Structure 1
Amino acid sequence: MSSTALPDPRTQFGTILGLWGAGLGAAAQFGKVSVTFPMLGEIYGGAGAALGFAVSLVGFVGVLFGVTAGLIVARVGPRRALIAALGLGALVAGYQATLPALPLFLASRVVEGASHLAIVVAAPTLIAQLSAVQHRGLTLSLWSTFFGVAFAVLTWGGLPLARAWGPGALYAAHGLYMAAMAVLVAALLPRDVIGARGAPLSLAGLVADHRHIYASPFRNAAALGWVCYAGAFVAILTVMPPFLSEALRGMVIGLMPLAGIAVSMTLGVWLLRHVPAVRVAVAGFALSLVAALALWAVPGSAWPYLALAGALGLVQGASFAAIPQLNAAPEARAQANGALAQMGNVGTTFGTPVLVALTAAGGVNGFLVFAVVLFGGGIALHLLTARARARRGSEAV
């Protein structure tokens, strides 16, 4: 396959900020339902477990179709895929603002999951293309903050809006934001930033492409590390705060994402200018393991939680930066971003229930088992894929 290179190698920071803004809209596709979940319980009274799918269905789509989204983006081009996904997201959010019957609301979340996937695959692919090599650590670390920033905005601004006017108002505001982002991205992105066209998608072809991507130590490396990061961070943020006193709990929950963002955008960006991204990710996992040992030793203290979040911030930015370092062609990057999206959803889907079970059985000792397996696993997977890359030397696209 061939790809179209950018004629201008300079970093297009304004366009990249626009793409990051699109990412905030994608993160809000998760967050808007999370922050309004108790209100939905009142609206759809008696829904019980069925309502729980309102949150998880977007992620479940990613588990099933993350790589497929990467393949589609690689074929149709990230610019067109992103604009279409933002437009679809705007329509779905507008429909959700009407608060339809629960089965229809859940069906809309499946469609929204497809929109979300296309955005989180296409946007970082484009950011890598629009960044000079020396700036990719900065721009992709910025991209990696989109979830944390969006959840903070939804907590500080979206939740008061929903409390005052109902969740439908927040969903309508989200729809308007997504529509505005679609227009902005269409205006900002140069039309020559496109991917290669390949053969039409088929079931046999999808199976073969999955096998090819996950067999490639160039395309699978970031995803295999990311499943350990995603599974750990969301689970720890959800399950471990009850080990803290109530006086500390709210502060720690609020500061953990910010600690990760701060480290990713400062120390992480500096390291990525001097050290290969995979090594930064390995260092982040190693420091996370040390911080986890401290948390296990003093689970009632706040600082180990913040230290752990900061260490994981190194993994956060380095994982996205590793994709363009390991994959030269835009279509290969799109496929690697699809795998990362898929593995991230696997981690967030299964990490929390596993940690709940371990801490229920063994308390803070169960957490230590969880941390050793995931952080040690992240180190091992990166070292194994690095060894496989060294043996292979290079990869044909």
Structure 2
Amino acid sequence: MVERTSWPLILTLWGAGLGAAAQYGKVSVIFDLLPQAYPDAGPALGWVVSLVGFVGILFGVVAGLVVARIRYRRALLSALWVGAAVSLFQASLPPLPWMLISRVIEGASHLAIVVAAPTLIAQLCAPKDRGLALTLWGTFFGVAFAVLAFGGYPLAVNLGLPALFAGHALYMAVFAILLGARLRALPEEGVQPELSLSQILRDHVKIYRSPFIAAPAAGWLFYTFSFVSVLTLLPPFLDPALRAMVMTAMPLTSIVVSMTLGVALLRIMPAVRVIELGFAFSALCMIWLWAVPAAPWACIALAGGLGLVQGASFAAVPQLNDNAATQAQANGAMAQMGNLGNTLGTPVIAMAIAGLGYSALPLLVAVVLAVGGLAHLLLGYARR
């Protein structure tokens, strides 16, 4: 067990996570510019964004098994180098079919990073620092998207799309070099099971039947379903004069609350209790948004509540699973459920709004958040 946390190394692993989030974000933030490079692609351009997520849905748990088998350091460094090579290839703006193939490969690279890095962080932290370190890890998506929106989009506008892809390739290569020099392999954990289709299916059953391994992923499904759909679909209902301020404040509030109040709560209560508090408070905020449509302070309070869920969900992984192999499985399941929530949330809520109007948004999301909290309560009962 590590007695002293190497914070420079933890921050470097977090930096690698920002690169993984940018594998999603670099295309999302420039989506309106892609028709310049692919003028005849039409609706097929949507696949350039979504293919990374579909890889996560299909192979999230598999990634946890593969990473455990080939070892965490090797998996992380390989994924960073593959990510760098893919981004460099994308900088050539290849024909659309090749771009789509590269996004599938990038999805595999992304999965390996988001499974290996938090598993390594949990193992390389002193127990007292795990809550803070994994809450920091939980901010990687929000921070990366903010940086890309602030700097990546202007870079693509001023210097062209290849500049953004090449910059991302350089970033991934730098972190592969830094971590290659500093990161040591974890101790061996014995022989890992053979990877076969039957073994993968058995492991899916084992993971999702376990109230320890599956719990973080169960909550993460409802969190991602809600957070992404609210950030995507709420803006048109906000006062235009306040819209930019509210939509900027929401992700920032989520990060700040997770890093302050969330970390403080993790020092005095289990991570699962913090998640349950976050879900309950967020559901109440959605009722507030139903009673006072598009109230700005309700939006910001909602982001704060979801920030508790965000950080504590990653902190729950090592609290519920005491070895690196089951932690990798839990992180793989989180990746799978997170991608499923990201993919389903916006279209499902959009269809509800189309049929029932604005009120469908707060009421349906309130139910989803309440079910997320209930899922954790039921899994806690199963663990006891």
TM range (shorter): over 0.9
Measured after TM superposition, the shift of residue 252 of structure 1 is 1.5
Asked if 1:202 corresponds to 2:188, the answer is: no
Change (3 A) 1:191 1:59: same
Task: Name the amino acid aligned to 1:253.
Answer: M
In structure 2, C-alpha distance between the alignment counterparts of 1:60 and 1:79, rounded to whole Å? 25
Measured after TM superposition, the shift of residue 114 of structure 1 is 0.2
Asked if 1:174 corresponds to 2:168, the answer is: yes
Aligned to 1:158: 152
Asked if 1:141 corresponds to 2:141, the answer is: no
Deviations along 1:284-318, one digit per CA (max 9) or x if unpaired, are 00000111111112223211111101100000001
Aligned to 2:74: 80
Task: Name the amino acid aligned to 1:9.
Answer: E
Measured after TM superposition, the shift of residue 200 of structure 1 is 2.2
Match of 2:222 among 216, 222, 228: 228
Aligned to 1:32: 26
Aligned to 1:247: 241
Asked if 1:284 corresponds to 2:278, the answer is: yes
Task: Name the amino acid aligned to 1:141.
Answer: T
Aligned to 2:346: 352
In structure 2, C-alpha distance between the alignment counterparts of 1:112 and 1:316, rounded to whole Å? 24
Q: Is the 8 A contact 2:283 2:367 kept in 1?
A: no
Match of 2:378 among 375, 379, 384: 384
Aligned to 1:53: 47
Task: Name the amino acid aligned to 2:149.
Answer: T
Measured after TM superposition, the shift of residue 194 of structure 1 is 5.5
Task: Name the amino acid aligned to 1:315.
Answer: V
SS in 2 for 1:364: coil
Aligned to 1:333: 327
Matches within 5 A, 1:35-114: 35-114=29-108
Aligned to 1:393: none
Q: Is the 8 A contact 1:31 1:151 kept in 2?
A: yes
In structure 2, C-alpha distance between the alignment counterparts of 1:128 and 1:200, rounded to whole Å? 25
Q: Is the 8 A contact 2:71 2:185 kept in 1?
A: no
More displaced 10-residue stretch of structure 1: 193-202 or 272-281 = 193-202
Q: Is the 8 A contact 2:72 2:186 kept in 1?
A: no
SS in 2 for 1:10: coil
Deviations along 1:181-240, one digit per CA (max 9) or x if unpaired, are 111111121234565541221000000000000000000000000000001000000001
Normalised by the length of structure 1, the TM-score is: 0.95
In structure 1, C-alpha distance between the alignment counterparts of 2:256 and 2:114, rounded to whole Å? 21
Q: Is the 8 A contact 1:285 1:315 kept in 2?
A: yes
Change (3 A) 1:196 1:52: farther
Q: Is the 8 A contact 2:62 2:332 kept in 1?
A: yes
In structure 2, C-alpha distance between the alignment counterparts of 1:195 and 1:35, rounded to whole Å? 41
Gaps spanning 5+ residues in structure 2: where? none
In structure 1, C-alpha distance between the alignment counterparts of 2:173 and 2:362, rounded to whole Å? 44
Gaps spanning 5+ residues in structure 1: where? 1-5, 391-397
Aligned to 1:132: 126
In structure 1, C-alpha distance between the alignment counterparts of 2:4 and 2:277, rounded to whole Å? 30
In structure 2, C-alpha distance between the alignment counterparts of 1:98 and 1:66, rounded to whole Å? 29
Deviations along 1:369-391, one digit per CA (max 9) or x if unpaired, are 3223211111111011101100x
More displaced 10-residue stretch of structure 1: 31-40 or 20-29 = 31-40
Q: Is the 8 A contact 1:196 1:331 kept in 2?
A: no
Deviations along 1:35-85, one digit per CA (max 9) or x if unpaired, are 111111121012111100000000010000000000111111111110000
Task: Name the amino acid aligned to 1:129.
Answer: Q
Measured after TM superposition, the shift of residue 325 of structure 1 is 0.2
Deviations along 1:348-389, one digit per CA (max 9) or x if unpaired, are 000000110111111222113322321111111101110110
Normalised by the length of structure 2, the TM-score is: 0.98
Change (3 A) 1:358 1:40: same
Q: Is the 8 A contact 1:81 1:118 kept in 2?
A: yes
Aligned to 1:186: 180
More displaced 10-residue stretch of structure 1: 45-54 or 296-305 = 296-305
Q: Is the 8 A contact 2:282 2:366 kept in 1?
A: no
In structure 2, C-alpha distance between the alignment counterparts of 1:24 and 1:71, rounded to whole Å? 23
Deviations along 1:258-285, one digit per CA (max 9) or x if unpaired, are 0100000000000001110000000000
Q: How many residues are matched?
A: 384
Aligned to 2:254: 260
Aligned to 2:356: 362
